[in-house]
Amino acid sequence: MSFPDAASLNSLTELSSEAATDSNRSAAPVHFGFQNTYARLPERFFSRLAPTPVAAPQLVKVNVELARSLGIDPDALSSTVGVEILAGNKIAESSEPIALAYAGHQYGYFVPQLGDGRAILLGEVVGEGGERYDIQLKGSGPTPFSRRGDGRAALGPVLREYIVSEAMSALGVPTTRALAAVITGERVLRETVLPGAIFTRVAASHLRVGTFQYFAARQDIDGLRTLANYAIARHYPDASKAARPIRALLDNVIARQAKLMAQWLMIGFVHGVMNTDNTSISGETIDYGPCAFMEAYDPATVFSSIDANGRYAYGNQPRIAHWNVTRLAEALLPVIAEEAGSEEAAVAAANEALAAFEPQFEAARLTGLRRKLGMFTESEEDAALAENLLERMRVNGADFTLTFRRLCDAAGGVKNDAGVRELFTDSDSYDAWATKWRQRLEKESITAEKRVEAMRKANPAFIPRNHMVEAALNAAISRQDFHPFEELLDVLSRPYEDRSDMARYSVPAKPEERVCQTFCGT
Ligand code: AMP
Ligand code: MG
């Protein structure tokens, strides 16, 4: 990857802060080694500003392993100075803070200017493997993009993003990560008054479909071209060698989104706000708001309080991802036309690229279902067999995660069927399907032991069940008790391992515990 020269602004800017943290550790220097390639792009791509200091920052959590993998000393990050940086009270050496400009379709309606209304990019760090990551504060105060918002975040949504993004990572799904959470010592006003917090996010980048839409909407073709080249250099360097690099960029983004949708569906994830500004160019899951995991299998599952029409329902997500990448293709048309020779050729190229979404998604989904069902080979009947199980799960209200986890035991023999059977209101419905499943598995010479082992790696025992997430958030907000949050993080860090001491995290909510709605809390 070749990038413009890194920052020359190396001054350590101290912002006014009378507030002390209660972390009494030594004020070790925090070395991020920030590079600022985005801040080298034209000034109209962002706004330069520092976070707004907060009253009394306190550390909630530092992600020790993640910090290490990024070459950041977790102890320094947890020190008084570290917490001041995480709270936005101090600017780290080598950081050039900026708020990024972007646009986006929200629930299908285009908003020409959104942007980081409550987030600030501190800079980029290069990880162990040479990959570049953005470090961003979320909830760090108002910016020129705040519109009517206060630029702040409440503790609940910050902890939710921490928990769910780390769970997604452990489940093996591309995602932004949680580096830290701090409370601000200030209150934020939402439906009620809530404790304020700041989340530190790590992302492959914060380029979104909406970033391209921002320049397209302004007919800023130079901006589009610059952005496309930046995205190629940062995420798809091979595309620069293609005969038509921008078409190759589009192909790559489409492929990543198609695969990501299959990964979401395989674990029952519902994003909740798949607006084009929440669709990452790198293919990571980004902007966790009213997200939640489905329990009883039903493609119509919706949690978000503001998604009244089910636009972003579990089963609708692939269709929406396709819609979102179609908006990317539209935005890129002027620069695809430059390399394709004409507008007509650009439209044909974009349509060709978009046509690849569905087959790529379907192939990834079928591969995923085969893994979940313990199939090592491919057979014509597999798709129908998988669909048939899903339909029976829907009719019988079977818990998605537990059905597949218990199928791992069932793969060991009929004698182990009881666990799955009891998840179906009509257990006979499971039996009828299982007979066909076993006939299919008999076509493979693999041992039952091997199959069970492989299936346990494809079907998690633990997902962030909504009532457990809610309980962890409530304990933190109402009692300043972070123990449930820590325990949940621990369980979710190894989602494919059975842990008898943590069994209560693996079962669905009882009817009275069920969480049917989530709120984005912005
Ligand atoms: P989100 O729903 O979090 O993806 O945010 C959509 C847009 O609203 C983005 O431009 C955010 O920066 C902005 N936004 C969300 N919450 C706030 C807030 N509390 N203050 C200012 N801007 C916000
Ligand atoms: Mg967003």
Give the pLDDT confidence score for residue 28 in this predicted structure: 57
- Ligand 1 binding pocket includes 149 (Cβ within 6 Å): yes
- Ligand 1 binding pocket includes 151 (Cβ within 6 Å): yes
Q: Which of 24, 38, 208, 21 minimizes the C-alpha distance to 132?
A: 38
pLDDT means over runs of 10, the chain (522 residues):
31 30 54 97 98 98 98 97 98 97 97 98 94 98 97 98 98 98 97 97 98 98 98 98 98 99 98 98 97 98 93 98 98 98 98 98 98 98 98 98 98 98 98 98 97 98 98 97 98 97 95 84 70
Ligand 2 mean position, distance from CA 126 (Å): 24
Q: Is 465 helix (H, G, I), strand (E, B) or coil?
A: coil
Pairwise CA distance, residues 371 & 374, whole Å: 5
**What number of residues does the chain have?**
522
Atom 11 of ligand 1, residue of closest alpha carbon: 117
Query: Could you please report the per-residue DSSP string of 65-113?
Result: HHHHHTT--HHHHHSHHHHHHHTTSBPPTT---EEE---EEETTEEES-
Give the pLDDT confidence score for residue 129 in this predicted structure: 87
Torsion of CA 499, 67, 266, 231, to 10 degrees: -170
Q: Which atom of ligand 1 is nearest to the CA of 153?
A: 19
Pairwise CA distance, residues 494 & 201, whole Å: 21
Has 499 been labeled as part of a binding site?
A: no
Report the catalytic residues. Answer: 277
Pairwise CA distance, residues 482 & 412, whole Å: 39
Pairwise CA distance, residues 447 & 442, whole Å: 10
- Ligand 1 binding pocket includes 273 (Cβ within 6 Å): yes
Ligand 1 mean position, distance from CA 428 (Å): 49
Is the Cβ–Cβ distance between 117 and 151 less than 8 Å?
yes
Q: Which atom of ligand 1 is nearest to the CA of 143?
A: 21
- Ligand 1 binding pocket includes 150 (Cβ within 6 Å): yes
Torsion of CA 54, 57, 32, 210, to 10 degrees: -50
- Pinpoint the alpha helices (H) of 268-302: none
* Ligand in closest contact with the CA of 197: 1
Atom 22 of ligand 1, residue of closest alpha carbon: 117
- The C-alpha angle with vertex 28 and arms to 26 and 33, in degrees rounded to 5, equals 160
Helices 483-492 and 155-171: angle between axes, nearest 10 degrees: 20
Helices 343-355 and 245-267: angle between axes, nearest 10 degrees: 30
Number of Cα atoms under 13 Å in the Cβ half of residue 230: 24
Which of 118, 164, 189 is the best mutation target for the ligand 1 pocket, counting ligand atoms within 8 Å of the beta carbon and taking the most? 118
Query: Rg of the chain over CA atoms, in angstroms?
Result: 24
Please give, one letter per residue, the 3-state secondary structure of 399-440.
Answer: EHHHHHHHHHHHCCCHHHCHHHHCCCCCHHHHHHHHHHHHHH
Spans of all domains in the chain: 6-210, 238-363, 375-455, 466-513
Atom 15 of ligand 1, residue of closest alpha carbon: 522
Atom 6 of ligand 1, residue of closest alpha carbon: 114
Ligand 2 mean position, distance from CA 119 (Å): 10
- Ligand 1 binding pocket includes 115 (Cβ within 6 Å): yes
Q: What does DSSP say about strands 46-48 and 98-100: parallel, antiparallel, or unpaired? A: antiparallel
Ligand 1 mean position, distance from CA 301 (Å): 24
Pairwise CA distance, residues 492 & 472, whole Å: 13
- Ligand 1 binding pocket includes 152 (Cβ within 6 Å): yes
Q: Is 261 helix (H, G, I), strand (E, B) or coil?
A: helix
Q: Which of 293, 272, 280 minimizes the C-alpha distance to 202?
A: 280
How far, in Å, are 222, 262, 268, 341 from residue 338 at the CA level?
11, 33, 41, 6
Torsion of CA 386, 391, 394, 396, to 10 degrees: -100
Has 150 been labeled as part of a binding site?
A: yes
Joined together, the tokens standing for residue 34 give 């920030």
Ligand 2 mean position, distance from CA 280 (Å): 10
Pairwise CA distance, residues 222 & 335, whole Å: 9
Give the pLDDT confidence score for residue 3 in this predicted structure: 34
Has 327 been labeled as part of a binding site?
A: no
Ligand 2 mean position, distance from CA 272 (Å): 11
- Ligand 1 binding pocket includes 138 (Cβ within 6 Å): no
Q: Which atom of ligand 1 is nearest to the CA of 520?
A: 2
Give the pLDDT confidence score for residue 27 in this predicted structure: 52
Has 268 been labeled as part of a binding site?
A: no
Q: What is the pTM of this model?
A: 0.94
Pairwise CA distance, residues 59 & 183, whole Å: 6
Has 44 been labeled as part of a binding site?
A: no
Has 208 been labeled as part of a binding site?
A: yes
* Ligand in closest contact with the CA of 149: 1
Q: What does DSSP say about strands 132-138 and 153-154: parallel, antiparallel, or unpaired? A: unpaired
Ligand 2 mean position, distance from CA 512 (Å): 32
Is the Cβ–Cβ distance between 495 and 465 less than 8 Å?
no
Has 151 been labeled as part of a binding site?
A: yes
Q: Which of 385, 460, 391 minimizes the C-alpha distance to 426?
A: 391
CA 395 from centre of chain: 30
Which burial class, exposed, middle or buried, applies to 447 when counting CB atoms under 10 A from its CB (0-12, 13-18, 19+)? exposed
